[in-house]
Chain A
Amino acid sequence: MTTVTNPVANVGRATLEFLADVGRLCIFAAQSILAVFTPPFYFANLGRQLLSVGFYSLPVVGLTALFTGAVLAQQIYIGTGRFNAESTVPTIVVFGITRELGPVIASLMVAGRVSAAMAAELGTMRVTEQIDALTTLATNPFRYLIAPRVLAATLMLPILVLIGDIIGVMGGWALATTVLEYNSVGYLQRTVDFLETWDVISGLIKAGVFGFIIALMGCYQGFNSSGGAQGVGRATTNAVVSASILILAANYIITSIVFTD
């Protein structure tokens, strides 16, 4: 049979498939949130996820924050030096870290670790029928597997980002006081002088949203994977890529609509 490709039909089909995907993801997200708030609660699973998302992400987040803070101080020093405003370096560094770079970079790093791990684990459970087995043992997989992951990531990301913020500022401070010869106390004083609570809080709220996205995409891709080891590999890649893109898109939307002051 010969098929004549109709470009309009193709665009239509692709659009419909995309919308169906978005719809499925929204239903999955709603089911996940519902599962977080309905008993039974699996506290042991939650504890394990808090540990694996939070504690084990500390080195990654800490190191990225340290280097980001240092390089930020270096670049801003060069930039502000062009109009003799080097004294604003601490203020701009802390502003950039708390409002943008802290949440975004930490979340992207954690997305690489955690989304991938969740997609791989749930994907393996799916293709080896462990998720079906859970269901037949009268246990709802959304409550047992997904709720602890989504909750843990949503709670832990703000904490990780707060720690990352502090380490990032210290990275900037370390570079400024060693390489750039800033006064140590003076630098820290300038850091807090113009800092507003909202700068930090808005970044932490973003981090919570990003944490939700990280776990949601990891779980969604893993839960819906099919086709053996290859399918699990595909789910893992898709989870990291889609979580990263959604984090950046959500960051833009939150910043431009909600946090305009």
Chain B
Amino acid sequence: MATPKLSLQHIHKRFGAKVVLDGVNLDVDAGESVVVMGGSGTGKSVMLKCVLGLIQPDSGRILLDGQDITHVHGREREQLLRRFGMLFQGGALFDSLRVWRNVSFGLISAQRMSKRDARAKAVEILAKVGLGPEVGDLRPAELSGGMQKRVALARAIATNPEIIFFDEPTAGLDPIMADVINKLIIERVREMGATALTITHDMASARKIADRIGMLHGGKIIWIGPAAEVDRSGNPYVEQFIHGRAEGPITMAVRRQ
């Protein structure tokens, strides 16, 4: 079997007394699109940040192409991060910079592209996410929520990264805009051959963009399987989640805490 592109092995992370990740295991193959779902506050964002090195896991290993990257720091980490793209949950656009500078930030900082070229490239990428060139001169605060998400998406894919993380890309958007984002993600991943790991609790979105779907609960991936099998997982947690039922094992677990 080929080595997975990205492999999380027994990742543990706690904040103070609060255990957030309790032994997460997850493999993502090259060119694959994996979706992880899970309730709010179960540590989905923390999991992505552990891989990026924004948060140091307490124990466990993270492998990229079979290489241990858990404890890579400094300039080496900077090099490593050039291979990743990240769409943050809240967009995290730089509000002091215009949209085109946001989109081309990685091109200028990591790839040393000239400002003029970067600007042209930014306009090109903005067009790919359905935004006109005039948007490039606006500030993030002047954009609607849906436009901010698209700009953030444009920034995440601008440098053609090998691996892209999408943290709740459709949260807070209307269903039509959400579907536009889904399409964009599929297109980008297919077109660029990138590997994608997406966090979402939007089931419609998950079904659309995922090759495989996993569920994070209680600090562990409790189920993972092909997207088509999510409806017959036989796992009561997954069933409760995908049907959005208030009663079930997840609610019981929350009440026990």
Give A contacts to B, CB under 8 Å: 125, 128-130, 132-140
Contacts and interface: CB of A to CB of B under 8 A. Distances in A.
Contact of B52 (A128, A130, A136, A139): A136
A135 B81 contact: yes
B92 A137 contact: no
13 contacts: A125-B94, A129-B90, A129-B92, A130-B93, A132-B52, A133-B92, A135-B54, A136-B54, A136-B84, A137-B105, A137-B110, A138-B78, A139-B78
Contacts of A130: 92-95
Contacts of B109: 137-139
Given A130-B94, A132-B92, A133-B92, 13 more contacts: A128-B95, A129-B89, A129-B90, A132-B88, A133-B94, A135-B81, A136-B54, A136-B81, A137-B81, A138-B79, A138-B81, A138-B82, A139-B109
Contacts of B38: none
A132 B49 contact: yes
Interface in B30-81: 49, 52-54, 78-79, 81
Nearest to A48: B96
9 tightest CB-CB pairs across the interface, nearest first? A133-B92, A129-B92, A138-B110, A137-B106, A136-B86, A139-B109, A138-B78, A138-B82, A129-B88
Contacts of A135: 52-54, 81
Nearest to A133: B92
Nearest to A140: B78
B92 A128 contact: yes
Q: Give the residue among A125, A128, A138 with the most B Cβ atoms within 10 A.
A: A138
A44 to B, nearest CB: 10
A227 to B, nearest CB: 13
B106 A138 contact: yes
Given A138-B78, A138-B81, A132 B54 contact: yes
Nearest to B156: A136
Contacts of B86: 133, 136
A140 B109 CA distance: 10
Interface string B92-129: 11110000000001100110000000000000000000
Contacts of A132: 49, 52, 54, 88, 92
A128 B152 CA distance: 13
Contacts of B110: 137-139
A128 B78 contact: no
A146 B109 CA distance: 16
Contacts of B92: 128-130, 132-133
Interface in B153-175: 155
B145 to A, nearest CB: 14
A136 B88 CA distance: 10
B53 to A, nearest CB: 8
Nearest to B52: A136
Nearest to B110: A138
A136 B79 CA distance: 10
Contacts of B52: 132, 135-136
A139 B89 CA distance: 20
